[in-house]
């Protein structure tokens, strides 16, 4: 008999869910984690990032307070206070995740585990273990390009631990992390320059919504360098000199690379077990999360399907339900909502207008371009934009895209309508909830 029914490698969102639920179904489960229980999302991703976003938003809220009658005499930001509070909260969550596992009798190995065969692993301490099933949930890691001086740059792993707030920060990339941290550092008072290899940012989002973010970001004072590439980084005195092609060289106090993440599969013994990987090192799996080796499975970012926490959690749950809960379950990837926590945030679900025009014959779009009430009174000239993409032949809403305060909060509920195949007529028939921003969704004609 194997030591465990299930051995999970990686205690992030997908791994913890699979381990906990499988154990609840009665399986003997172990999990190995070489860093901290909680994984990227909890330790150095979504959670601490969102707390920084909240912290950053006070900059505007305190400015706006005056028009609402509040006298806020001085506004001073202390990075160390926010950083330490955020890290303390991360520590609390790490303990909560650990407790969840131990309460379900999951054995935790706080060390690296590598495959030695289809049913065997070796831990960093040298201990060998066996398991009927192995689940790889090792996530992904930031890509740091090979270039002279790259050791002077940081990734999103280090950004939560900075000693002090940079006066000038250069951010490479035009995706989620670049735009979120551009907003965060700008609100904290840093001068932000975002460098991107093309002039398209947030490629997978509706471009009209993205254009609005760009207009707002430019007006706020975030600098964009498009069609620009970083060639070399040097430390000169206490600043960084960044040699560029496509624009003038840049001087900065910090340089953050946010040019994507690659699956964490290096040195994991995949070859010795016979697990097949793809071009980016991602583990190839079927719709049951099974790899090319029947006893080995993988979920989450390491499979490079959709790199989002809730997707990894669904995959972990589906794995546990299927193999330990006797309820075969497959994840539906067709209607995954997502958001960028920029300033202001944007969110989307379903097809963008571009995708719909390519895929469907007849497409109608409805937009609402408005200034949130709060912004009007505050004198803040920042407009929101909501967009419905409708299949012209069936009246079905196939996409909803929005930018503005609380857009992700609103979109989560709206995503149910898209998944439920509701029609534009259903939105029209719904009475508005006034006064809200969300009411715009049912008032577009
Ligand atoms: P993204 O994939 O979002 O963006 C990568 C950016 O880097 C793109 O602008 C891309 O350009 C550019 N890029 C890629 N390769 C290179 C290169 N070799 N040289 C120069 N530029 C390059 O990655 P992030 O690092 O921002 O985030 C990683 C993942 O983490 C995301 O895909 C997302 O799944 C997840 N995430 C989700 C968040 C959320 O849900 N709010 C928040 C943060 C991360 P191009 O478009 O031309 O390819």
Render each residue's pLDDT in the chain as its tens digit; 445 residues: 999 999 999 999 999 999 999 999 999 999 999 999 999 999 999 999 999 999 999 999 999 999 999 999 889 999 999 999 999 999 999 999 999 999 999 999 999 999 999 999 999 999 999 999 999 999 999 999 999 999 999 999 999 999 999 999 999 999 999 999 999 999 999 999 999 999 999 999 999 999 999 999 999 999 999 999 999 999 998 899 999 999 999 999 999 999 999 999 999 999 989 999 999 999 999 999 999 999 999 999 999 999 999 999 999 999 999 999 999 999 999 999 999 999 999 999 999 999 999 999 899 999 999 999 999 999 999 999 999 999 999 999 999 999 999 999 999 999 999 999 999 999 999 999 999 999 999 999 9
Residue pair 358/370 in contact (Cβ under 8 Å)? The answer is no
Residue pair 8/32 in contact (Cβ under 8 Å)? The answer is yes
Establish whether domains 4-141+262-323 and 150-259 are of one fold.
yes
User: Is any ligand 1 atom within 6 A of the Cβ of residue 179?
Assistant: no
What is the DSSP-derived secondary structure letter of residue 394? T
By alpha-carbon position, which residue is closest to atom 14 of ligand 1? 259
Joined together, the tokens standing for residue 392 give 């012209």
Q: What is the CATH number assigned to the segment(s) 344-442?
A: 3.30.390.30
For 77, counting Cβ atoms within 10 Å of its Cβ (0-12 exposed, 13-18 middle, 19+ buried), the class is middle
User: Is any ligand 1 atom within 6 A of the Cβ of residue 178?
Assistant: yes
Closest alpha carbon to 243 in 317, 156, 148: 148
The atom number, within ligand 1, closest to the CA of 261 reads: 28
What is the DSSP-derived secondary structure letter of residue 249? -
Residues 428 and 407: their CA atoms lie apart, in Å, by 20
Q: What's the confidence (pLDDT) of residue 237?
A: 87
Q: What's the confidence (pLDDT) of residue 77?
A: 97
Joined together, the tokens standing for residue 272 give 């010795």
Residues 432 and 434: their CA atoms lie apart, in Å, by 6
State the distance from the centre of ligand 1 to the C-alpha of 151, rounded, in angstroms. 20
User: Is any ligand 1 atom within 6 A of the Cβ of residue 338?
Assistant: yes
Q: Within 13 Å of residue 88, how many CA atoms lie on the same side as its CB?
A: 6
Under CATH, which architecture does the 4-141+262-323 domain have? 3-Layer(bba) Sandwich (3.50)
The structural domains of the chain, with segments of one domain joined by +, span 4-141+262-323, 150-259, 344-442
The model's pTM is: 0.97
Q: So what CATH class is 150-259? A: alpha beta
The atom number, within ligand 1, closest to the CA of 179 reads: 26
The atom number, within ligand 1, closest to the CA of 338 reads: 40
Catalytic residue numbers read 434
State the distance from the centre of ligand 1 to the C-alpha of 176, rounded, in angstroms. 6
User: Is any ligand 1 atom within 6 A of the Cβ of residue 245?
Assistant: no
State the distance from the centre of ligand 1 to the C-alpha of 202, rounded, in angstroms. 8
By alpha-carbon position, which residue is closest to atom 33 of ligand 1? 307
Total Cβ atoms within 10 A of residue 367: 16
Closest alpha carbon to 320 in 347, 348, 288: 288
The atom number, within ligand 1, closest to the CA of 307 reads: 34
């Amino acid at each position: 008999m194997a030591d465990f029914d299930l051995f999970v490698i990686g205690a992030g969102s997908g791994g913890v869910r699979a381990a906990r639920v499988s154990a609840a179904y009665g399986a003997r489960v172990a999990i190995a984690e070489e860093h901290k229980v909680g994984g990227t999302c909890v330790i150095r991703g979504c959670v601490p990032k969102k707390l920084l976003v909240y912290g950053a938003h006070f900059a505007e809220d305190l400015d706006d307070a005056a028009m609402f009658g509040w006298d806020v005499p001085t506004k001073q930001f202390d990075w160390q206070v926010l950083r330490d509070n955020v890290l303390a909260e991360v520590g609390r969550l790490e303990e909560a995740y650990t407790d969840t596992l131990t309460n379900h009798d999951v054995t935790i190995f706080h060390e690296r585990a590598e495959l030695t065969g289809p049913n065997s692993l070796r831990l960093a301490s040298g201990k060998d273990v066996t398991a009927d099933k192995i689940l790889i949930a090792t996530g992904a890691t930031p890509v740091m390009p090979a270039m002279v001086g790259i050791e002077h740059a940081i990734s999103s792993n280090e950004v939560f631990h900075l000693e002090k707030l940079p006066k000038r920060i250069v951010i490479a990339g035009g995706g989620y992390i670049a735009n979120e941290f551009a907003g965060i550092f700008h609100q904290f008072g840093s001068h932000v320059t975002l460098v991107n290899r093309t002039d398209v940012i947030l490629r997978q989002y509706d471009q009209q919504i993205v254009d609005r973010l760009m207009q707002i970001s430019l007006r706020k004072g975030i600098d964009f360098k498009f069609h620009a590439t970083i060639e070399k980084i040097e430390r000169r005195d206490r600043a960084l000199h960044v040699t560029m092609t496509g624009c003038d060289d840049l001087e900065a106090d910090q340089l953050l690379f946010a040019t994507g993440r690659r699956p964490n599969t290096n040195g994991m013994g995949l070859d010795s077990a016979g697990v097949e990987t793809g071009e980016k090192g991602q583990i190839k799996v079927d719709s049951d999360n099974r790899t090319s080796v029947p006893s080995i499975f993988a979920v989450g970012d390491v499979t490079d399907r959709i790199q989002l926490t809730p997707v990894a959690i669904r995959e972990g749950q589906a794995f546990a339900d299927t193999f330990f809960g006797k309820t075969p379950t497959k994840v539906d990837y067709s209607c995954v909502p997502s958001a960028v926590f920029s300033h202001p945030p944007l969110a989307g679900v379903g097809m963008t207008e571009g995708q719909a025009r390519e895929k469907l014959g007849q497409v109608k779009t409805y937009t609402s371009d408005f200034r949130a009430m709060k912004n009007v009174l505050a004198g803040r000239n920042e407009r929101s934009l909501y967009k419905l993409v409708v299949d012209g032949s069936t009246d079905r809403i196939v996409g909803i895209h929005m930018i503005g305060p609380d857009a992700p909060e609103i979109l989560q509920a709206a995503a149910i309508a898209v998944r439920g195949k509701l029609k534009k007529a259903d939105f029209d028939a719904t009475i508005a909830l006034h006064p809200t921003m969300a009411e715009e969704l049912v008032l577009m004609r």
